[in-house]
Structure 1
Amino acid sequence: MAKTALARALRRSSTEAEKKLWNLLRDRRLEGWKFRRQVPLGSYVVDFYCAQAKLIVEADGGQHAESASDENRTAWLARNGYRVKRYWNNEILANPEGVFMDLLENLT
């Protein structure tokens, strides 16, 4: 499947945590920072991306715990000038305000 088609499919099948996080990030709600969701970058599709800050935000469930493929992906993104900020799904769902404030600190 092409990365663009995969990104579209991922947008349609968002997890609850991704939906909540997108609600915080969309429409420049985070102090004017523009985010896009499910964005193809290289051979990967990232959850959320702010091009101005070169910041990637990932919503991670249990399948990401100590994942070697996630480490390789993060390393590739870092080598290409991107910063990656990860939040656990339960953190996003239980403390969206804290995630919002942490993201603001990472953007400024």
Structure 2
Amino acid sequence: MQQSNYGPANSAPSNSPLEEECLQYGVLKYGQCTIKNTIIKYAPVTDLPYQPHLKERAKSLRRAGNLSEVLFWMQVTKGKFHKIDFDRQRVIGNYIVDFYVKKLGLVIEIDGSSHDNKIEYDRIREDYLISLGLKVYRITVGDVMRNMHFVIIGLENYIITEYGME
């Protein structure tokens, strides 16, 4: 069973000139990008279950603007994070996940106090997402609020570990 991970990690971020060079000269193949000079292979999960009745609830959650989610979103929206596309408040099955990276099949959850008394619920939810072939990466609200730099580094390192090509 895939275990979820919490960030952050302890290395410095770098903008990869390799990525720009590869994109410019067409070295990267379709379905890849780079992070810290590591080629990341996309691993999309297709045909995810979707419950249309949750669409309005997801929109409502986006509009509500949970502060930690908004701060994280500001770091990753519009390709700011290695030109990777993130969805916010995405419906998957009977659940709404905080963030979803379609090209990686990666769910990102920001865990705050609302998760404190939902350990069993979160485990069942995560097991379900993993059963669909998705990976789940968890970030704490405290990390987002106090040290976004290390949250981003932790996410980069997780993606390199899980999707990097050696």
What interval of TM-score do these two structures reach, taking the shorter chain for normalisation? over 0.9
TM-score scaled by length of structure 2: 0.62
Match of 1:76 among 128, 131, 139: 128
Amino acid corresponding to residue 13 of structure 1 in structure 2: A
Counterpart CA distance in 2 for 1:101 and 1:58 is: 16
Counterpart position of 1:41: 92
**Greater fraction of residues in helix:** 1
Q: Which has the higher contact order (CA 8 A, sep 6+)?
A: 2
State the shift of 1:25 in Å. 1.1
Matched, 1:26 2:81: no
1:64-92 residue CA offsets vs partner (Å, 9 max, x unmatched): 13621111000000011111111111110
**Number of equivalent positions:** 108
Counterpart position of 1:8: 59
RMSD, matched Cα: 1.3
1:6-65 residue CA offsets vs partner (Å, 9 max, x unmatched): 100000112110010101110111111110100000111000000111111111111213
Amino acid corresponding to residue 138 of structure 2 in structure 1: R
Map of 1:77-96 to 2, 5 A cutoff? 77-96=129-148
Query: Kindly, what percent of the aligned residue pairs are identical?
Result: 27
State the shift of 1:99 in Å. 0.6
Match of 1:54 among 67, 89, 105: 105
- Where in structure 1 do 4 or more consecutive aligned residues deviate above 3 Å? none
TM-score scaled by length of structure 1: 0.94
Counterpart position of 2:13: none
